[in-house]
Structure 1
Amino acid sequence: MDGGTIALFVGIAVAAGIFGGTLAGLLGVGGGIVIVPALYWALSLTDMNPGLMMQVAVGTSLASIIFTSASSSYGHWRKGAIDVALLKRWGPWILVGTILGGLIGGLVSGKVLIAVFVVVALAVALDMIFRTATPSDTPRSFSAPVWAASGLGAGAISAMMGIGGGTVCVPTLNFLGYDIRRAVGTSAAIGFVIGVPGAITYALTGLGQENLPPFSLGYVNLLSLVCLVPLTMTFARVGVRIAHAIPQRRLRLLFGLFLIATALNMARDLVFGG
């Protein structure tokens, strides 16, 4: 990449860090739902292999989520919005699912990852917009196999999308009867469980690949990471304050509408891209 392209790449990473960090705290999504398409678009302006752009975007996003989720989780924990018992029940299965999803994501075509991103984001958006919220404050009871299967699925999908889990976990927990703010807070903590193994897996599976962007460790681009992390951590606190200050229904609608816009943009690239 030449100097101008690098400057543009950094500028896009900065914008994604601000917006992604705010969204992470607001919706418990780890910021990846913003960072992945932003980095993918930035990489499309370079001369790197198109088949690897999605892997780099996903791997870098997962690495940034480690720090974003830590900042966002702390803010939600101070407000009592993290369910520790749920983390103990669901976390190990999400961890296993993340490793499996990371291995798959590092090996398949980038178009497969884009398709997964689009389909899941649209499905979740429609669910969050049109489903009536559970009136009860008491979470529903499900057996251990159900928690295991949902955890494996959430971890695998999140690793293939480059997200912190909130896109999948927030609506899942809300469906199970958890208050939307508690679902957001707990999902922010789950982002850390997904980010660490996911980033390591993409870094390892990308080692030795040719024509990666400068300053890359496997599929994790360190230049983008340096730009993203300080901003996502700072603005995640802003998002937390907003999340606890607006009505639940408005929070659900905001989540859904943003996912639709992002998914349609990615779908356009999948259909008309090279």
Structure 2
Amino acid sequence: MRKENAMKKVGKSIIYILLAVVAFVWVYPFIWMITASLKTQDEFFASGLSLIPKSLNFENYVRAWNNANFGVYFKNSIIVTVSVVVIVLLATSAAGYVMGRYAFVGKKLIMGIFMASITIPLVFTVIPIYELLKEMGLESNLLGLILAEAGGGHVIFLMLFSSFYGGLPKELEEAATIDGSGFMKTYTSIMFPLAKPIMATVVIMQFIWTWNSFLLPLIVTLSKPELRTLAVGLYALRGENVVDWTGIAAGACIAVLPIIIIFICLQRYFVDGVAGAVKS
């Protein structure tokens, strides 16, 4: 019996060691990026993959923020990302409520079209989106970028909301109807507030996607560099002949910080939202 317990402990220890190694390999690039942002250019090339900088050099952050206009790019990213998240959240929640709670003619066809849209690569839609923005006179401003990023089926979020709303008891709507609530009041005052876990999931995922989006912001802001988002501005640090690697590392750390903050604040709701959707 003791021998079996000892073998189990050894087996668990081996598993933990392997998982620790995998975890270290997984987070190593992120840690290396942080330490690289604190090195000088000479130290960056001399130290290779070393994780320990000789001194803490915060000039890279100052250079990225001021000289590379990261302050402006950060503001643009905040405006675009927050606007897109709000639009997507409201649109997918309302559509998911209708899809999950009501039966109507053509419902399966509509859901099939949404599901089929997943197979269309983004690069195939770039030219039509740009032409549409051009016809609307929005090809070179933040409003056009916001509409372009917020457009699309967002099928994953639609399915999450549809699954969640479809699993709620009908008694909620019946009680609301008896109290005199109409469609909109029932949705806004009862159903929507109950979907906080799904909302957190949508906010986190859409925030990450929009914040890191590169192709559409690059095309829309091509003629107006002052409208660049952080992802595009980070790419701009790469010159034709010289690449500011430490500046790029510092810029990447600045760019990833809001994502980490958002995830830390909403991670509990994120896990509940995904678990609830799977159960439904």
CA radius of gyration, larger in: 2
Under a length normalisation based on structure 2, what TM-score does the superposition of the two structures give?
0.28
Q: Which has the higher contact order (CA 8 A, sep 6+)?
A: 1
